[in-house]
Structure formats: C-alpha cells, structure tokens
Amino acid sequence: MELTGIGVGRGVAAGPVLRMPEPLVAPSDDPHEGDTAAEIARAKVALAAVAVWLTERGVHAGGEAGDVLSAQSLMAGDPELVNDISARIERGSNAERAVVDSCDAFQKLLEGMGGYMAERAADLADVAQRVVAELRGVAAPGVPESDIPFVLVAHDLAPADTAMLDFTKVLALVTRDGGPTSHTAILARAKSIPAVVGVNGADAISEGSMVVVDAANSRVTLDATPDQIATARAERERWLTASHAPLTAGVLADDHAVPLLANISVLTEVPEAVALGAEGVGLFRTEFLFLNSTTAPSIATQQAAYVEILAAFPGKKVIVRCLDAGADKPLPFLAVAHEENPALGLRGLRALRAHENILRDQLIALANAQAESEADLWVMAPMVADLEETAYFVGLAKELGIRVAGVMAEVPSLALVAEQVLGVADFVSIGTNDLTQYTLAADRLIGSLAAYQDPWHPAVLRLIKQLGDAGAAAGKPVGVCGEAAADPDLAIVLVGLGATSLSTTPAALADVRAALLTVTLDEAQTRAARALTARSAAEARTLGSR
C-alpha cells in the first residue's frame, strides 16, 4: 500500500517507524481547590521553568532553530500571557486549564492575523504542552528515543522537537500536516533528509512497521517487502554519493550557466553556505536585525552586519532584501492600526514607505557597506505590486548610492506588468512561497490549505514564465529565491521558464547542482513547456519531471 503527499528533496530511505507521542490529556475543568495566590505562583514557576529550558535548548541548537526556540521562550514569559493566566485562575480555573485556555485564545488571535504571526501560533501550542507537563511533573511529549535508525511519523513537528532530532538516527520524516514551505519541510531540506509532508492517511501508519519514504516521488510505501527495502537502500547510497559530488558552479549539460546562490536568514548560516558551494547569496533576510527590538537598529549597527556578509563572498553577488515587516510581522517602530487581513495590508515596501526614515537608514547602511566591500551588492524591495512602487524604490535606492536595485515578485500583479517593471528595475527575484499563496488565495501557514501551496501549479508557472520572458526581452536577470528552487525537478523547469539564477537553502544546493547537469537548456525549456500545458499541480509535476 502506498500513501502520497508532498515530497521534500530527492532522497529515499527505508526503516522502521517510530511515532511522535500523542499530546497530553487535556486538563479537567474542575476549579482549583487551593489558595488562589499559590495556584498563580505555581503557574508562574512552570512558565519560568519552560522559558529557561527553551532558552537553553535554543543556545544548544543555534542557527534558525535557536532563533525559533528563543522566540518561544519569550512567549512563555510574555507578561500579557502571564496576566491572562493569572486572571483565569482568579476566576476559578486550575493552573493547567488556565494555561491551556489562555494559550488557545492567544493562538486563535495569532492565526487570525495570518502570515508570520500565524506561523508563531503553532509555537504557542507547543509552549502550552510543555507548561502543562511541568505542572504535572511529567515529561513533555517529544521526539522518541531509539538505539537504531528510524523513520519519524508525526502530525507535524514543533520547533523544539526539531531542535532535539538526532540526525544520525532519523532516516526520514513523514507528517500528516504541512506543505512544501512548512517548518518540517524547511528542516528536511536544511538537514538533507528525505521527507513527505501533508500525507493523508499518516495517522494509520503503525509503530514499528517497515516503510520506504521516497521524497522524489512523493510517496510512502507501507509494510515494505525485503526487495523494496533493499532497492530503497541501494538508491539511498547512490543519492548520498551524488550529494557529496565535487563542488562546482551551477551549469547545465550544455555549459549554460545557472548560478546557485544561498538563502541566508542570520549571519551564522554563512559558513555552511560557503562550505556547500554557494556562488553567492540570492536572498539575505535582514529581519533578524530588527526583531526583538523596540527601536530600529542604527545605521552603524546595520552596516557592520552587512559588511560581515559581504566579506564572506568577495567578488560574488550578494542580494540583500530590505526589511520585510509590517502588520503581519509587527514591530514597535512600524506600528500600524489593527487590520482585518494583515497579510494583505500594510506590509513589505508599503510599510517601509509609511516609515521612510527606516528605509533610508537601511539603504544608507547598505551603500556604506558596499563602499567597504569587494562583493557585488544587489538590493531589493519586498512585496512590490507594480511599476509605481518599483520606480519609487529603485529611484530612492539609486539616490542613496545603491548601484544595483531590484524588486521581489511575490504579488501576481507584478508578474502581469513585468515588462514595465523590468524597464525600471535592474533585476527581479521571484519569491515563489508568497507568489504561490497569493496566486491561489491560500495562506501557506494553514495546514488544511497545504495542497494549494504547490509552486508546480500551472497558474504559478505561467506567471513565472511571464517574468522570465520579460527579463529576457529586457536583457535583465530574473532569479528565483523561493523554496521552489530547492526541488531539483522544479529547478530544471524554472530554468526552462527563464530563471537566470536559483537561490535556496544551502543544504539543497548539491541536489539541484546534480539535477541541472542532466539536461541542456533546450531540454529544460521542453520540460517547462510540457508543465505549462498541465491542468493541475500534480500533472505539471509529472510532465515536468521527465
């Protein structure tokens, strides 16, 4: 029997199943029987203990996982959450019920805000589980331990769970929830392990059964036979050998160059990108400089960070994205009124225009860093909708000393006027994650809509082709910096649609590099043309992968 989902990467693995434990039994509704002050104190002690534990795990994990765990630690100590829990206890709730109800209320609030804040909602649910476990004096549900390698099956993985995964033991991941841009999918790419997410029927996979996880074909084979297991393990060895091939520049079989760049979220990720052969940076997210701060960082603070990343890539392209924040990623110094649908509100470049001093300071810091560096600095604006916004950003960037200024294509309207945009911008970079969610009107952070978050959808591919054609006509670069570029088969199609460079998580570079070497430009264009005729994402994947 086979189950299907969304494959992440090209790897194959076979092994016994271990399942994530089920969540803790919900607390009772019985009122607390002790002293109210003592019950509140008990809850505060548990929250503080969880906050300390998350902080320690964050330091140990480092990188992106460390940042997420640190954010969870701040949630556990958030004064509004603590006060709400205390108020519920004062009204009679026991500490466990107060924690669950309070976290649930805040979780619904975050989900309703959409975008980045909705992504944080799942983190809050994990905090609640850990605090309840602390109150009960039991271990929180977490990653199972094993002396032998295993395939981990779960509803989904919380950030704290991923930080504790032993990747010498975890052969593959299978989840019921999630899509190609979910936390689990991003983790799988970053760690180069096979995964199939969004698997309908994953709950029925039994503990201890032997399965084959085939990420390249997006399927999970249940109760695998010895022959199927042997074939999968042989394929895994071939895949591991290919993934450790010599580091070379991105190029097709006919020597057509396709630079392979890295997406970078924090400076600590730079050494890995260099080690894995990134030819530069296709997306440097600058949000880490602004988060967890009540005021915008100074020009000098920003400049120092930009100098550091530019120094790691002398003579190479480094594309920096200006601050992508706003109503769905609220910052105290970008305060806006409450919005019913913040994902469609004052965010990205719109928020920066409303606070132009912050944008000017960032551009000045980048121009100063550019003057100190041998790297080829390109700067782009997020969430740009049309020619007018493009002209505003490019004009301001050039005025302040930026030599190469472009925009991100994440909104369908920009693709539809691509020829106008590329008459002004020096380049366009396609953010396939947001482009997909806005094209299909499906929030990429809502698990029930994961099937819509598929960049293979013909509507998305057609928008990308419009951008590629406009870039070719203008003689200007059109790159891709979304998670779609991490899919080796889709990477080939993207090149066929006109992408001039691909930027992804560093761990995916080896797979993409190997895939590009198997086709000529004509063959990539043929695959792309076939995919464009598809009537669904699944059909496009089939037509474009051969």
> Which pair of tokens denotes residue 335?
């305060």
Give the phi and the psi of residue 21 in degrees, each rounded to 5: -60, 150
Count of helices and strands (H, E) across the chain: 21, 16
Buried b (16+ CB within 10 A) or exposed e, 495-529: bbbbbbbbbbbbbbbbbbbbbbeebeeebbbebbe
> Which pair of tokens denotes residue 290?
């602004």
Distance of CA 57 to the CA centre of its chain: 20
Cα–Cα dist 229/479, whole Å: 39
Distance of CA 64 to the CA centre of its chain: 10
CA angle 170, 173, 174 (to 5 degrees): 145
Out of 103, 355, 457, 481, the active site residue is 481
| Burial of 16 (C-beta count, 10 Å sphere; 0-12/13-18/19+) | middle
Is 481 marked active-site? yes
Query: What string of DSSP letters covers 47-113?
Result: HHHHHHHHHHHHHHH-HHHHHHHHHHHHHHT-HHHHHHHHHHHHTTB-HHHHHHHHHHHHHHHHHHH
Out of 32, 183, 355, 457, the active site residue is 183
SS (H, E, C) 93-107: ECHHHHHHHHHHHHH
Cα–Cα dist 434/29, whole Å: 41
Yes or no: say if 107 and 125 are a contact pair by the CB < 8 Å rule. yes
Is 183 marked active-site? yes
Cα–Cα dist 306/320, whole Å: 9
Which residue numbers are catalytic? 183, 481
